[in-house]
Amino acid sequence: MALNKQAEIARRMTGSKLSNQELFTMVGSISEEAKEKICPEIDKMIKDISLPLDKAYPAVMVGFYKMSVHYNIDSAVLFWIYMEWLKHNK
């Protein structure tokens, strides 16, 4: 998938207002150590919701928002790194 399309999806899923370039820059600045700490937490948050997708989506968005505040990382960046992490960890 093209990077611009990935950025669009990350923004739509999280409500972020970052530009493509801001998103690409921020994703690139997250260390592997940070990803390995944050992504399992995101995964647990999503699994703990345990609702059908149509009902889980609002709760997942809130979860991403809370984690973005906690880590001071935009929610679209968190979504992006989590999607990348899933490719290698599921």
Interatomic CA distance for residues 84 and 38, integer angstroms: 12
Q: According to the model, what pLDDT value does residue 37 have?
A: 96
Q: Is the pLDDT of residue 81 over 90?
A: yes
Q: How would residue 85 be classed by pLDDT, with cut points 50, 70 and 90?
A: very high
Tokens standing for residue 16: 């972020």
3-14 and 20-29 are packed helices; what angle lies between their axes, rounded to 10 degrees? 90
Q: What is the pLDDT of residues 19-47, one digit of tens each?
A: 999 999 999 999 999 999 999 999 999 88
Query: Percent of the chain having pLDDT more than 70?
Result: 100
Torsion sign over Cα 82, 48, 89, 71: positive
Closest-CA residue to 14 (of 82, 89, 70, 86):
82
Q: Is the pLDDT of residue 57 over 90?
A: no
Q: Are 64 and 49 in contact (CB under 8 A)?
A: no
Cα 57 versus chain centre, distance = 13
Interatomic CA distance for residues 78 and 76, integer angstroms: 5
Q: What is the pLDDT of residues 4-23, one digit of tens each?
A: 999 999 999 899 999 999 99
